[in-house]
Chain A
Amino acid sequence: AQTVTQSQPEMSVQEAETVTLSCTYDTSESDYYLFWYKQPPSRQMILVIRQEAYKQQNATENRFSVNFQKAAKSFSLKISDSQLGDAAMYFCAYRSQGYSGGGADGLTFGKGTHLIIQP
C-alpha cells in the first residue's frame, strides 16, 4: 500500500515571501499521479496542483509550483509571493494510474501541513 508523509505539521512565512512544503511518498508503482490540496478554515478541499509521474517537467499554476523528484519519491510544493489567503492546511495526495485496477479507491492523503501567513 502507498503511504504519503508530510513531515512539517506547521509552517510559517511572512507575507510576500516564498515557502516550500515537503511531501514524500512510498510506492512500488512507476505510473501514478500526485496532488496538492488546500483546506482553508472553511474546510472546503480545493485542488491546488497536480503532477503526472511520467512527466519530467514540474507542474506550475500561477504562484504555485512543484518540485517533483521521482527517484527520491519527493513532491514538494512551492508558494511564491505568499498571500494572506494562502493560509490553510495543505494536503499532499497520491493516486495510482489504474492500469491494474489501482486508483479506484481514490487518493491516499498525507496528514497535512498547517501554513500560517504572517502579515
Chain B
Amino acid sequence: DGGITQSPKYLFRKEGQNVTLSCEQNLNHDAMYWYRQDPGQGLRLIYYSQIVNDFQKGDIAEGYSVSREKKESFPLTVTSAQKNPTAFYLCASSLLARGNSPLHFGNGTRLTVT
C-alpha cells in the first residue's frame, strides 16, 4: 500500500544534540512538507519542497534544516539552535504543489528533548 512512513514514532534526545526525523513516501508525490504541532497551536509549517533538490522555509524554520536528495525522502534535522524542540512532528506530501491536491500525512514523530 502507498503511504508516508515516519520513523521513529517516539524520539528522546538530550539538549544540545542534533536529531534527524525520517520521512519516506511511496506515493510518487512531488511535494513534501514538515509541520510542527503543539497543544492549542494547530499545525505550523517548518519547511516544504516542491521538487527534488529544492526546498523553502516555512513559518517556523529557525533551528531546523532539511534535504531533498530523492523524491521519496524528506528528512528533517532538529538542531541545537531550536529553542523549544519538544513537539509532535508531522510529515506530509501532495501530488502537486498547488491547488486541490490534498495533503497526505504520516503518523508523526513525538520528539522529547530534556
Q: A residues near B, CB below 8 A?
A: 9, 33, 35, 42-45, 47, 50, 52, 91, 95-98, 102-107, 109-112
Contacts and interface: CB of A to CB of B under 8 A. Distances in A.
Contact of A111 (B42, B50, B97): B42
Contacts of B92: 45, 106
A106 B42 contact: no
Contacts of B90: 45
Given A45-B92, A104-B56, A109 B99 contact: no
Interface residues of B, number: 28
Given A43-B88, A106-B92, A98 B42 contact: no
Nearest to A106: B33
B33 to A, nearest CB: 5
B58 interface: yes
